[in-house]
């Protein structure tokens, strides 16, 4: 009797698995820069995501090996590797979501803006191909400097006539991931239920965590604690760059953050309600043309760019002092794309 019951329950479970898999639509995700420090663990995490039916791994070298490796994992997504310019079109064809971690990372002593010279051209080339091969895809930009690469992407898409501001995202999730971890540690609360919005941009003082809106709220934090938490969040990337001492920047925590944001985008596309994440998007929340804030994700990408809510005096000050740098990084990106 026991074994009969067990086999009946296994049968039911299999049927449920089957019906939930068939209810989830086909979704193709392409990762550009898939053989890199971020690209490889991100490919692994997206292969584990049951919402992905097809996973396209593109890089200028080494993707056949990464793709062969990841493809052996017994999950839903069919994995294909593409290498070199000739195969970029096929990698992108039919993609619903393109995630871009292509480009050089920082070494100690560099700012993210020091990466502009090399990464601006890489992003421009990749976005030109996206406009041609999958103009309707959501684009998650990870390549730095995000404050400039997102405006570059927007200009490339505008020139190609494919720009849809609802579909272009600068990935700032790692700032949120860090703010949550650091806040939970300082406030001594379990990290699992913690949320902290992070707004502005993705470099130094342009990263503005809103600890006054953190949940669960904590009254255990002094003004000095809040200053230290803000600074640690703003310098989180540099903390990793220095610890890696010349071997690059955050890759594993970034892959996690990229997978969280990519999953949110897919859920939005699939019509799951109330998907809210922070992201650097075209915005009217401030006078700056691009700004990171909470956004609601839906079937066509950004469904709503949400306001900043109430800010503390410290946060208001931070907001005013980030605007100059953020605007000049945005303009640098726009000028590059218009002039080149």
Cβ-contact 123, 102 below 8 angstroms:
yes
Q: Are 105 and 115 in contact (CB under 8 A)?
A: yes
Q: Of 94 and 125, which has the nearer Cβ to ligand NAD?
A: 125
Tokens of 240: 């990793």
Binding region for ligand LMR (CB under 6 A): 105-106, 112, 144, 174, 236-237, 240-241, 249-250
Nearest to 236 by CA among 224, 254, 221: 254
**Could you say which of 29, 66, 97, 146 contacts ligand NAD (CB under 6 A)?**
146
Q: How far apart are CA 197 and CA 177, in angstroms?
A: 10
Among the residue ranges 95-103, 215-223, 306-314, 319-327, the one whose residues contact ligand NAD (CB under 6 A) = 95-103
Binding residue for ligand NAD, selected from 29, 46, 59, 259, defined by CB under 6 A: 59
CA distance 10 to 19: 14
Nearest-10 Cα torsion for 206, 251, 183, 185: -150
Are 263 and 51 in contact, with CB atoms under 8 Å apart? yes
Q: Partners of 97 in the beta sheet?
A: 29, 138
Q: Which does 241 bind (CB under 5 to 8 A by kind): ligand NAD, ligand LMR, none?
A: ligand LMR
Contacts of 78 (CB under 8 A, 6+ apart): 53, 54, 55, 71
> Does the annotation flag 262 for ligand binding?
no
The reply, when asked if residue 143 is annotated as ligand binding, is yes
In sequence order, what E strands does 103-151 have?
Answer: 138-141
Residue nearest to ligand NAD (CB): 36
User: Which entry of ligand NAD, ligand LMR, none binds 55, CB below 5 to 8 A by partner kind?
Assistant: none
Tell me whether residue 104 or residue 314 sits nearer to ligand NAD (CB atom): 104
Task: Tell me, yes or no, if 72 is annotated catalytic.
Answer: no
Q: Is 201 annotated as a binding residue?
A: no
Among 66, 83, 150, 174, binds ligand NAD (CB under 6 A): 174
Q: Which residues pair with 304 in a beta bridge?
A: 296
Which H or E run includes 80?
A: strand 78-83
Residues 6+ apart with CB under 8 A from 179: 196, 198, 209, 211, 214, 229, 233
With CA atoms as reference, report the closest residue to 139 among 231, 319, 261: 261
x/- string (CB under 6 A) for ligand NAD, residues 285-314?
------------------------------
**Residue 144 near ligand NAD by CB under 6 A:** yes
174 or 327: whose CB is closer to ligand LMR?
A: 174
Q: Does residue 34 have a known ligand-binding role?
A: yes
- Residue placing its CB nearer to ligand NAD in the complex, 140 or 286: 140
Which tokens sit at 256?
Answer: 């996690």
Nearer to ligand LMR by C-beta: 56 or 233?
233
Judge whether 39 is annotated as a binding position. Answer: yes
Q: Which residue of the chain is nearest ligand LMR when measured via CB?
A: 237
Partner in contact with 171, chosen from ligand NAD, ligand LMR, none, beta carbon below 5 to 8 Å by kind: ligand NAD
Contact 57, 70 (CB under 8 A): yes
Judge contact between 306 and 287, C-beta under 8 A. Answer: no
Flag whether 147 is marked binding. no
Which among 179, 171, 184, 218 is positioned nearest to 198, based on CA atoms? 179
Considering only residues 57, 67, 70, 102, which one is a binding residue for ligand NAD as defined by CB under 6 A? 102
Binding ligand NAD (rule: CB under 6 A), the pick from 45, 60, 189, 272 is 60
The answer to whether 144 is a known ligand-binding residue is: yes
Q: Which residues are catalytic?
A: 202
Binding site as annotated, residues for substrate:
106, 112, 144, 178
Binding site as annotated, residues for NAD(+):
33-39, 59, 119, 142-144, 254
């Amino acid at each position: 009797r026991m074994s009969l019951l067990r086999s009946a329950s296994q049968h039911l479970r299999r049927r449920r698995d089957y019906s939930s898999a068939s209810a989830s639509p086909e979704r193709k995700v392409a990762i550009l820069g898939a053989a890199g420090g971020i690209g490889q663990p991100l490919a692994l995490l997206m292969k584990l995501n049951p919402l992905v039916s097809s996973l396209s791994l593109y890089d200028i070298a080494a993707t056949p090996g990464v793709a062969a490796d990841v493809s052996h994992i017994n999950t839903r997504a069919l994995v294909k590797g593409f290498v070199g310019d000739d195969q970029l079109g096929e990698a992108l064809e039919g993609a619903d979501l393109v995630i871009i971690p292509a480009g050089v990372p920082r070494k100690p002593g560099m700012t993210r803006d020091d990466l502009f010279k090399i990464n601006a051209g890489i992003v421009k080339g990749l976005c030109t191909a996206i406009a041609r091969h999958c103009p309707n895809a959501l684009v998650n930009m990870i390549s730095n400097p995000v404050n400039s690469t997102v405006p570059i992407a927007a200009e490339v898409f505008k020139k190609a006539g494919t720009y849809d501001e609802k579909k272009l995202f600068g990935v700032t999730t790692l700032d949120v991931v860090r703010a949550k971890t650091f806040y939970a540690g300082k406030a001594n609360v379990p990290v699992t239920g913690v949320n902290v919005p992070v707004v502005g941009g993705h470099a130094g003082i342009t990263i503005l965590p809103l600890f006054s809106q953190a949940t669960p709220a904590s009254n255990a934090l002094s003004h000095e604690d809040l200053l230290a938490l803000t600074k640690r969040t703003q310098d989180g990337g540099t903390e990793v760059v220095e610890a890696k001492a010349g071997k690059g920047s955050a890759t594993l925590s970034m892959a996690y953050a990229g997978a969280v944001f990519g999953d949110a985008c897919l859920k939005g596309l699939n019509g799951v309600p109330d998907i809210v994440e922070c992201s650097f998007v075209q915005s009217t929340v401030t006078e700056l043309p691009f700004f990171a804030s909470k956004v609601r994700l839906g079937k066509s990408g950004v469904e709503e760019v949400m306001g900043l809510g109430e800010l503390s005096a410290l946060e208001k000050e931070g907001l005013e002092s980030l605007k100059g740098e953020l605007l000049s990084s945005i303009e640098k990106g726009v000028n590059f794309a218009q002039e080149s």
